[in-house]
């Protein structure tokens, strides 16, 4: 496991990646690959496919590094957005209703904590967690599932046993409340 890397370290690495330095990409990979692999695996629930996507993700980071703008997003946000987008594209290729088995069914090393438990304990999640927590249970579940599993409204409706329109209105109302709560 790579030593702790600060956001500044990552920003500096990105600048070197943008200048075309492969050794910097390797360092960025070492510092972030486990997190991004976790992101892909959560969405795809398939190790081989997730590793394939992970490979595409770093090639994309390499190709687009010069478009990274430190004033608009952190490196971690930027690269995890690429990872989520690639994984979601791959999931969509399975069909509009596709969703992976829930991550609980995956083989995860012993002693590890579930994502939800981590969400509760991680201090840095703080504000967003508080604001999500203020929503009713089904809205919370819908928003979290959408984010973590990258599923469509249709798949979400299937999973929750409600029509697409219903889940859509829960999510949209929930997002409006979330925005209000976060801006306070």
Partner 1 sequence: MSERPELSEAEAFAAEHALGLLTSAERRQAETRMARDAVFAGLVEAWRNRLDSLIDAIMPITPSHGVWAGIEQTLPVNDNAADSRGLRFWRAATVGSLTLAAASLTAAVFLANQPPVIIHPVPVGQLLNASLISPSGAPVPLFVAAYDPVRKALIVTSLVQPGKDPAHVHELWVIPADGKPRPLGFIEPGKTKTMPMPEALRNSLALGSAIAVTVEPPGGSPKIDAPSGPVAAVGKLVKI
CA pseudo-torsion sign 20, 23, 29, 31: negative
Among the listed residues 6, 33, 111, 130, the single contact to partner 1 using CB under 8 A = 33
- Nearest residue (CB) to partner 1, 18 versus 162: 18
Q: Is 20 in the site for partner 1 (CB under 8 A)?
A: yes
44: helix, strand or coil: helix
Smallest separation, CB 101 to partner 1 (Å): 16
- 60-79 positions binding partner 1, by CB under 8 A: 62-66, 68-74, 76-77
- 85-124 positions binding partner 1, by CB under 8 A: 88-89, 92-93, 96, 108, 112-113, 115-116, 118-119, 122, 124
Contacts of 127 (CB under 8 A, 6+ apart): 182
Q: Is 134 in the site for partner 1 (CB under 8 A)?
A: no
Q: What span, in angstroms and rounded, lies between the C-alpha atoms of 3 and 128? A: 27
- 101 with 45: CB under 8 angstroms? yes
């Amino acid at each position: 496991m790579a030593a702790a890397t600060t956001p500044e370290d990552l920003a500096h690495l990105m600048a070197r990646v943008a200048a075309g330095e492969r050794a910097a990409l390797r360092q960025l990979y070492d510092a972030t690959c486990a997190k991004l692999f976790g992101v892909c695996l959560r969405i795809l629930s398939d190790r081989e496919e997730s590793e394939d996507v992970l490979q595409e993700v770093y090639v994309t980071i390499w190709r687009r590094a010069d478009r990274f703008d430190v004033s608009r997003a952190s490196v971690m946000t930027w690269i995890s957005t690429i990872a989520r987008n690639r994984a979601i594209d791959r999931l969509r290729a399975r069909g509009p209703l596709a969703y992976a088995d829930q991550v609980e069914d995956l083989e995860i090393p012993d002693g590890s904590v579930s994502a939800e438990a981590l969400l509760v304990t991680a201090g840095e999640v703080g504000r967003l967690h508080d604001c999500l927590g203020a929503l009713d249970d089904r809205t919370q579940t819908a928003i979290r599932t959408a984010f973590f599993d990258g599923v469509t409204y249709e798949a979400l409706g299937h999973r929750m046993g409600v029509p697409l329109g219903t889940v859509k209105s829960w999510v949209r109302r929930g997002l409006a409340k979330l925005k209000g709560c976060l801006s306070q």
